[in-house]
């Protein structure tokens, strides 16, 4: 029986193509198949780095079925790379279910590390970074979002959130009600031409929001004890 293949979680740029690592390129050249969250987007990336490789779609709507198919390929000895739309697979992106299935099947899983918006935002925020809680995306509706924020009210950790440009304002307004006017940073368009990190308090962030409803945002909020 052939040896099993290896599952490589390959991190890709979150904006700047120059952040693609040599190991990421080499790995994508070497594997037999690329499992992609967005085959069109990954297709552009592969083309840019002149990598010709078959892709299989793997996204939140087919995670289980596609995951089992990918596991079969790995069991047959094929090496597979998982690439998401941007950044680190598994971080607010598909990845977890495939990692778990692979581990359960006794398949080796490794990772080519690289860009991750939350790491960049929390480090650049100027808020304490020795201990932080990554909360990912808040629920979209106000009641659920409030409960989600309230859960962390007494947390001693810096809080990190991803948010869509359409909900940043509502998110910050609700965060102000729940946490008060704490220290906060908003990191926008990281690694891109119009990258910015605004530091201040939640009210400053609300006042400084532009109405473009564009871009990608990470919101970092200091713990209550940051102000004591
Ligand atoms: N896997 C990605 C990572 O490693 O950061 C995150 C994927 S998640 C679907 C997309 C969210 O990440 C965006 O809505 C935004 O909150 C954040 N994000 C991704 N790229 C970003 C960037 N260049 N600047 C700021 N935030 C970014």
Give per-residue pLDDT as tens, 18-77: 999 999 999 999 999 999 999 999 999 999 999 999 999 999 999 999 999 999 999 999
For range 127-151, the mean pLDDT: 97
For range 8-12, the mean pLDDT: 98
CA of 77 to the centre of ligand 1 (A): 33
Q: Where are the beta strands (DSSP E) in the chain?
A: 6-10, 33-36, 55-57, 80-83, 108-112, 132-137, 158-163, 183-188, 196-201, 217-221
Q: State the pLDDT at residue 212.
A: 80
| Residue 11 Cβ < 6 Å to ligand 1 | no
Q: Is 210 exposed, middle or buried (0-12, 13-18, 19+ CB in 10 A)?
A: exposed
| Residue 12 Cβ < 6 Å to ligand 1 | no
Q: Are 220 and 158 in contact (CB under 8 A)?
A: yes
For range 99-128, the mean pLDDT: 98
For range 4-15, the mean pLDDT: 98
CA of 179 to the centre of ligand 1 (A): 24
In 3-state terms, what secondary structure has residue 199? strand
Question: What is the 8-class DSSP label of residue 106?
Answer: T
| Residue 15 Cβ < 6 Å to ligand 1 | yes
The Cα 18–Cα 48 span in angstroms is 11
For range 214-219, the mean pLDDT: 96
Q: Are 54 and 78 in contact (CB under 8 A)?
A: no
Q: State the pLDDT at residue 170.
A: 95
- 130: tokens are 């020795």
Q: State the pLDDT at residue 228.
A: 63
CATH 3.30.420.40 fits 6-112, yes or no: no
For range 122-136, the mean pLDDT: 98
Q: State the pLDDT at residue 152.
A: 97
Q: What number does the ligand 1 atom closest to the CA of 91 have?
A: 1
| Residue 63 Cβ < 6 Å to ligand 1 | no
Ligand 1 mutation pick, 9, 11, 13, 14, max ligand atoms within 8 A of CB: 14
| Residue 216 Cβ < 6 Å to ligand 1 | yes
Q: Where are the domains of the chain?
A: 6-112, 117-227
The CATH superfamily assigned to 117-227 is Tetrapyrrole methylase, C-terminal domain (3.30.950.10)
Q: Is residue 11 over pLDDT 70?
A: yes
Mean pLDDT of the chain: 96
């Amino acid at each position: 029986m052939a040896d099993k293949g290896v599952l490589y979680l390959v991190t890709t740029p979150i904006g700047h193509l120059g952040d693609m690592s040599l190991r990421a390129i080499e790995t994508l050249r070497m594997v037999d198949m690329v499992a992609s969250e967005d085959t069109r987007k990954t297709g552009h990336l592969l083309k840019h780095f002149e990598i010709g490789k078959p892709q299989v779609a793997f996204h939140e709507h087919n995670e289980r079925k596609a995951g089992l198919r990918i596991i079969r390929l790995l069991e047959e000895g094929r090496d597979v790379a998982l690439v998401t739309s941007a950044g680190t697979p598994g971080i607010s992106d598909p990845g977890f279910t495939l990692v778990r299935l692979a581990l359960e099947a006794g398949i080796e899983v490794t990772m080519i590390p690289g860009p991750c918006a939350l790491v960049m935002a929390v480090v650049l925020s100027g808020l304490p970074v020795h201990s932080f809680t990554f909360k990912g995306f808040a629920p979209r509706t106000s009641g659920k979002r409030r409960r989600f924020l309230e859960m962390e009210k007494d947390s001693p950790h810096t809080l990190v959130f991803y948010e869509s440009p359409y909900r940043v304002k509502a998110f910050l307004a609700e965060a102000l009600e729940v946490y008060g006017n704490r220290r906060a940073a908003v990191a926008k368009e990281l690694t891109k031409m119009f990258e910015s990190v605004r530091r201040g308090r939640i009210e400053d962030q609300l006042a400084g929001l532009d109405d473009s409803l564009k871009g990608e945002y990470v919101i970092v909020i200091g713990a209550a004890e940051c102000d004591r």
